[in-house]
Amino acid sequence: MDNEVEWEWEERIYTEKRRRREADWEEAKARDSKFMRRGEGSGDGF
């Protein structure tokens, strides 16, 4: 029982990390495309 809960917890952490990394990647790609299109930042200090 404990083993199963531990595995579920590790899977949840892994999924959360992967989702956050993918979100960061999408954000970076969007920022890059904005730079290329307009030659300026997205108004957040860049």
User: Taking the CA atoms of the chain, what radius of gyration do you get in angstroms?
Assistant: 18
The model's pLDDT over 1-46, given as tens digits with 9 standing for 90+, comes to: 577 888 899 999 999 999 999 999 999 999 888 776 655 555 554 4
Q: Is the pTM of this model over 0.85?
A: no
**Both structure tokens of 14:** 């892994």
The CA distance from 6 to 13, in Å, is 11
The CA distance from 25 to 19, in Å, is 10
